[in-house]
């Protein structure tokens, strides 16, 4: 907030117009302080939709007699300011009619004025994510509302649709959910609920659906239309406990160029109904579902606008927390870190640091898979392959290799060989160029038939961040494996020979921009690497995550397949430790279910019981933590408050495998050995670049290099072997003790246009 405070004293000409009421002829009255103006619904430089919620207060509590004068772009809006029900002596107003671009808000209370600048953006965006994606497929006509009707056809090229409000209620008969057909009388079978703050209200949920940022948003909260006033910041619903929950979807593959016909997580799932019954407000957007849009910056912009819209509709929450699994976990982490203050805590499961980490590890695994299955002249056994890859078994490393498909724009590729080549692999084949069926084939990239079409990769969907190769029009790529010594740990452990190590590294190769194999190593684009860090596409941990509770639960535990491996959880913790010196605000609970149990196709009673125990007990511990630190009114830093107010239950641990799981309080460590109780029950394995000597944090996209040295190997290479090593690594090998090339912290609220605030990169220039 920028304040312009004008000096008082004698009635100097410069301040007469602003402080006339404070000057009285020969006997000036006591000085009157300038009021404080604060934008409550967003940052003042990131207002959207032409409206904003603002508070006005003075050193002394405002009274009805105070001469408040507020203008917006010169127009008097004083009458809009009403007493704030949550803060005695403060006035708030929902100001509308802001123009796109710069706006000036000025306020005085019988004395000097305060001015703040507000920058407004259209409801359709963008604000910070850069130019809109093209092509882009609207899907409002397919989006189903809670009463079974559709949102309706889009009304413009930005996929807009009219906002609709539907009421649903839980019944007294089994808690079923029904549409509420009358808004003037409660149904006879409506259930009641008691919220976390002790209010007992009818279990009636207001669900608002509309469009913003070219996505489809929803918010939901308890509201009784037969009794409560229409929701507003001055008349919030009686059933809202002033807590706000952001939920996110999952996945990534196929998440490009579509609006999405559904949210990734319905606001009316059983878990979310539990939260609603406790009084939480919930919000979401179809672009917060990575399967619709695998672009964290666009997800952040959508979440910023969604929270802003909720606040303008219902008022300011006491706190906002975020939750999600898999893609929802990394979305929660990335947004919390890159946009401090957006979330006051994150509760996550099936964790990855970011979508980029999956892609990078997948690209390494695909290189190894190609060598293993198509060029294995080193005669590596399956056991040796697994050791070089770091995973539990062959199925696991191949499953991670399959995830590189999200970086491959070429349709129909069979790579490296059908899974039947190695029967133990089983499962689905490699899939390149995965598209949502709604995107017409005429718009899709094909190197032979449509070389200018839209490209289905995690890089191209975020081209505003990574940048564009002017020669090809393709997004620049941060993948780099120059100097990476694949299998280094296996060599030093004596699992593979120097001859096998050399053969692997001579032939492992790299990729071109179309994900085709090339013989040489690949150099990542320096700008793309730097911006991956600055934007938070590569999670850093130095931003908002430094000062909020991060509660990490296993969710999916399946080290055999499906790439939700435990090392990703530990990578998050390592990044936070490196950024902040310790991880006292990070708690890890281990114990989960295999993928088949998670999708309802199996699962033993013990597995299901563990999953339920982690989720229910973990949520309570997490929320107790958030409530405690938010109630701390001391002058301590937020990080210190978070650490000091951590409840006794918020400690590392794991659960036993039982129908009545028991919690084992134990610091969690990354290990596949039976070196602790938790590691015995829930072992964690590794990944190719870690086995190449890289950090568990997996946060060095491009390593710094050092010369090849015979002393770096447990068994010194022979003269001929050393010469081959120097030929394979002419620029040197990775020096993992140094920071990565281009590795930097996240830039809070980084912009990629059109906002000029914290502008990092403008792809149009």
- Assigned token pair, 4: 């312009």
Pairwise CA distance, residues 235 & 513, whole Å: 55
Confidence of residue 359 (pLDDT cuts 50, 70, 90): very high
Q: Report the alpha-carbon distance of residue 157 to residue 216 in Å, rounded.
A: 14
Chain center to CA of 753: 19
Tokens of residue 487, six digits: 């299998």
**DSSP letter string over 274-328?**
HHHHTT-EEEEEGGGSTTT---HHHHHHHHHHHHHHHHHHH---SEEEEEEETHH
**Which stretch, 21-30, 81-90, 211-220, has highest mean pLDDT?**
211-220
Residue scoring higher pLDDT (420 or 587) = 587
Secondary element (H or E) of residue 655? strand 653-655
Domain ranges of the chain: 13-121, 140-296+312-317, 356-533+700-734, 539-689
11 band by pLDDT with thresholds 50, 70 and 90: very low
Say what percent of the chain tops pLDDT 70.
94
Q: How far apart are CA 359 and CA 306, in angstroms?
A: 28
Does residue 518 have a pLDDT over 70? yes
600, pLDDT greater than 80: no
Handedness of CA 461, 465, 469, 473 (dihedral sign): positive
- pLDDT value for 421: 52
pLDDT band for 378, please (50, 70, 90 cuts).
confident
Read off the pLDDT of residues 38-48 as tens digits, 9 standing for 90 and up: 999 999 999 99
Q: What is the pLDDT of residue 17?
A: 29
- Would you tell me how many other CB atoms lie within 10 Å of the CB of residue 651? 16
Q: Comparing 374 with 454, which gets the higher pLDDT?
A: 454
pLDDT-derived band at 31 (thresholds 50, 70, 90) equals low
What are the Cα distances from residue 310, in Å, to 231, 245, 248, 599? 10, 11, 16, 32
Strand pairing report for 68-72 and 177-179: unpaired
DSSP-assigned beta bridge partners for residue 705: 734
What is the C-alpha end-to-end distance of the chain, expressed in Å? 29
Residue 29 confidence (pLDDT): 45
**pLDDT averaged over every residue in the chain:** 93
Q: Which one is predicted more confidently, 375 or 458?
A: 458
Q: Which CATH number fits the domain 13-121, given the four candidates 1.10.10.10, 2.60.40.10, 2.60.40.60, 1.10.3720.10?
A: 2.60.40.10
Closest alpha carbon to 640 in 582, 587, 588, 589? 582
127-131, 368-372, 696-700, 729-733, range with the lowest pLDDT? 368-372
Q: What is the pTM of this model?
A: 0.94
For the segment 150-183, what is each residue's pLDDT rounded down to a tens digit? 999 999 999 999 999 999 999 999 889 999 999 9
Kind and range of the H or E run holding 587: strand 586-593
User: What local confidence, expressed as pLDDT, does residue 636 receive?
Assistant: 98
How many percent of the chain have pLDDT more than 90?
87
What is the reported pLDDT for 560?
86
> Would you state the pLDDT for residue 643?
98
- Give the three-state DSSP class for 640: helix
pLDDT at 420: 52
Q: Mean pLDDT, to the nearest integer, of 682-702?
A: 98
Work out the average pLDDT over 313-322: 98
The average pLDDT across 396-411 equals: 93
pLDDT of residue 64: 85
Judge residue 83's burial from the number of C-beta atoms within 10 Å of its C-beta, 0-12 exposed, 13-18 middle, 19 or more buried: middle
Residue 25, pLDDT > 50, answer no
Q: Strand order in 51-57's β-sheet? A: 36-39, 51-57, 91-96, 82-83
Kindly tell me if the per-residue pLDDT of 403 is higher than 70: yes
Q: pLDDT digits over 261-301, tens only?
A: 999 999 999 999 999 999 999 999 999 999 999 999 999 99
Q: Which of the four pLDDT bands, split at 50, 70 and 90, describes residue 417?
A: low
pLDDT score of 603: 78
């Amino acid at each position: 907030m920028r304040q312009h405070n004008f000096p008082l004293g004698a009635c100097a000409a410069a301040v007469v117009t602003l402080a006339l009421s404070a000057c009285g002829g020969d006997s000036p009255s006591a000085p009157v302080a300038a009021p404080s103006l604060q934008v409550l619904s967003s940052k003042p430089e990131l207002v959207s939709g032409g409206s904003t919620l603002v508070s006005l207060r003075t050193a002394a509590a405002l009274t009805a007699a105070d001469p408040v004068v507020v203008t917006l772009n010169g127009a008097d809006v004083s009458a809009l300011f009403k007493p704030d029900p949550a803060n005695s002596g403060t006035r708030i107003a929902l100001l509308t009619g802001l123009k796109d671009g710069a706006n000036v808000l000025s306020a005085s209370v019988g004395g000097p004025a305060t001015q703040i600048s507000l920058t407004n953006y259209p409801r359709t965006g963008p604000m910070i994510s850069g130019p809109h994606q093209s092509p882009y497929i609207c899907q409002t006509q397919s989006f189903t509302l809670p009463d079974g009707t559709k949102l309706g056809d889009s009304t413009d090229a930005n996929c807009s649709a009219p906002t609709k409000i539907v009421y649903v209620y839980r019944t007294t008969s089994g808690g079923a959910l029904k549409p509420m057909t009358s808004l003037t009388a409660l149904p006879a079978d409506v259930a009641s609920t008691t919220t976390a703050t002790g209010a007992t209200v009818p279990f009636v949920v207001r669900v608002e659906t509309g469009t913003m940022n070219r996505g489809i948003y929803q918010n939901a909260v308890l509201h009784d239309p037969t009794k409560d006033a229409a929701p507003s910041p001055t008349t919030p619903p009686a059933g809202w406990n002033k807590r706000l929950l952001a939920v996110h979807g999952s996945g990534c593959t196929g998440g490009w160029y579509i609006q999405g016909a559904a949210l990734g997580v319905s606001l009316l799932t059983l878990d979310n109904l539990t939260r609603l019954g406790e009084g939480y407000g919930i919000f979401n957007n179809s672009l917060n579902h990575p399967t619709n849009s695998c672009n964290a910056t666009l997800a952040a912009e959508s979440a910023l606008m969604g929270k802003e819209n909720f606040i303008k509709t219902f008022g300011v929450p006491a706190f906002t927390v975020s939750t999600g699994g898999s893609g929802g976990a990394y979305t929660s982490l990335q947004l919390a870190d890159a946009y401090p203050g957006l979330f006051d805590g994150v509760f996550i499961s099936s964790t990855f640091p970011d979508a980029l980490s999956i892609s990078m590890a997948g690209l390494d695994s695909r290189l190894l898979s190609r060598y293993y299955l198509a060029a294995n002249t080193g005669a590596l056994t399956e056991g040796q392959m697994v050791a070089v890859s770091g995973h539990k078994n062959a199925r696991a490393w191949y499953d991670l290799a399959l995830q590189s498909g999200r970086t491959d724009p070429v349709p129909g590729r069979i790579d490296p060989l059908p899974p039947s080549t190695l029967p133990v692999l089983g499962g689905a084949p490699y899939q390149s160029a995965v598209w949502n069926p709604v995107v017409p084939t005429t718009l899709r990239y094909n190197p032979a038939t449509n070389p200018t079409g839209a490209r289905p990769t995690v890089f191209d969907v975020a081209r505003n961040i990574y940048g564009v190769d002017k020669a090809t029009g393709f997004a620049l790529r941060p993948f780099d494996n120059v100097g990476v010594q694949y299998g280094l740990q296996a060599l030093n452990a004596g699992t593979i020979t120097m001859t096998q190590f050399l053969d692997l590294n001579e032939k492992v190769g790299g990729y071109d921009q179309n994900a085709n194999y090339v013989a040489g190593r690949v150099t990542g684009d320096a700008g793309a690497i730097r911006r991956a860090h600055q934007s938070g596409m590569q999670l850093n941990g130095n931003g908002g995550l430094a000062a909020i509770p991060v509660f990490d639960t296993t969710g999916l535990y399946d080290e055999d397949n499906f790439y939700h491996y435990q090392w990703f959880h530990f990578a998050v913790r390592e990044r936070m430790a490196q950024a902040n010196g310790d991880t006292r605000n990070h708690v890890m609970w281990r114990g989960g279910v295999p993928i088949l149990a998670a999708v309802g196709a199996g699962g033993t009673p013990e597995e299901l019981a563990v999953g339920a125990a982690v989720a229910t007990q973990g949520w309570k511990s997490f929320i107790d933590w958030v409530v405690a630190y938010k109630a701390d009114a001391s002058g301590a830093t937020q990080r210190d408050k978070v650490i000091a107010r951590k409840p006794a239950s918020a400690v590392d641990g794991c659960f036993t495998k039982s129908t009545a799981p028991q919690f084992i309080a134990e610091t969690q460590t990354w290990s596949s050995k039976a070196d602790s109780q938790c590691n015995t029950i829930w072992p964690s394995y590794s990944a190719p670049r870690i086995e190449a000597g890289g950090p568990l944090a997996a946060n060095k996209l491009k390593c710094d290099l050092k010369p090849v040295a015979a002393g770096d190997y447990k068994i010194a290479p022979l003269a001929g072997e050393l010469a081959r090593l120097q030929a394979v690594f002419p620029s040197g090998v990775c020096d993992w003790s140094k920071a990565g090339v281009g590795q930097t912290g996240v830039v809070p609220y980084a912009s990629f246009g059109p906002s000029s605030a914290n502008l990092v990169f403008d792809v149009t220039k």
